[in-house]
């Protein structure tokens, strides 16, 4: 009887150990991500100055249509058609793509800051900028379309 009780206690301790350890690893990753995103936001605030909080203009029907076509061609492979990254990109890329349908993720940055990320990318990340590949008009159109993905 005592042996079984002892074993049960041991199992419980082991289970708790792995549960706590597993959770703290996850939290560490989240913490790293938060630190990185906060640093990036501060850098963008410095770069954009008083423009940081300016909203980007509302889209015209033409801009949205153009933005949608380009988004689906260039961005959806990583971020998903609906803004939700497909499972395969979450497991194969060195950094998982941001879920562009989730307001709490998207709103880490202001509109101008997200536009700037789309222009210039994020250094050391699979998120590359479009500058030099697309003109400013098309880049803005893509940004405008991404606003419609936020649920
Ligand atoms: C090769 C994969 C890949 C492609 C293609 C890609 N992205 Fe990303 N994107 C990422 C990754 C990965 C992140 C997360 C960056 C990080 O944590 O370093 C990201 C982050 C972002 C962010 C910041 C998200 C936030 O927290 O608000 C925006 C905005 C964004 N991408 C928009 C786009 C748009 C628009 C396109 C198309 C022009 C695009 N991305 C194309 C991989 C990609």
Mutation to probe ligand 1, out of 97, 112, 122 (largest number of atoms < 8 A from CB): 97
pLDDT at 30: 86
- Whether 93 is in the pocket of ligand 1, judged by its Cβ within 6 Å, is yes
Q: Please check whether residues 92 and 113 belong to one and the same domain.
A: yes
Ligand 1 neighbour 122 (Cβ under 6 A): yes
Question: With contact defined as beta carbons under 8 Å apart, do 89 and 96 qualify?
Answer: yes
78-106: buried (b, 16+ CB within 10 Å) or exposed (e) per residue?
A: bbbeebbbbeebeeeeeeebbbbbeeeeb
The total number of structural domains that make up the chain? 2
Q: List the chain residues with pLDDT less than 50.
A: 16
Domain residue limits at 28: 2-49
Do 77 and 139 fall into the same domain? yes
pLDDT at 10: 58
pLDDT of residue 2: 76
d(CA 78, CA 100): 11
pLDDT of residue 133: 95
Question: Residue 120: which CATH number?
Answer: 1.10.760.10
Q: In this structure, are 60 and 38 located in the same domain?
A: no
């Amino acid at each position: 009887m005592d042996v079984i009780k002892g074993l049960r206690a041991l199992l419980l301790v082991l289970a708790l150990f792995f549960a706590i350890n597993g959770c703290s690893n996850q939290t560490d990753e989240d913490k790293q991500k938060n630190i990185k995103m906060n640093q990036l936001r501060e850098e963008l605030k410095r770069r954009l100055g008083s423009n940081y909080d300016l909203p980007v203009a509302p889209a015209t029907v033409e801009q949205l249509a153009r933005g949608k076509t380009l988004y689906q061609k260039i961005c959806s492979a990583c971020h998903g058609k609906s803004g939700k990254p497909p499972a395969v990109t979450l497991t194969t890329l060195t950094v998982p793509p941001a879920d562009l349908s989730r307001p709490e993720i998207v709103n880490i940055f202001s509109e101008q800051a997200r536009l700037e990320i789309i222009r210039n990318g994020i250094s050391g990340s699979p998120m590359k900028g479009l500058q030099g590949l697309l003109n400013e008009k098309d880049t803005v159109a893509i940004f405008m379309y991404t606003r419609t993905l936020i649920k």
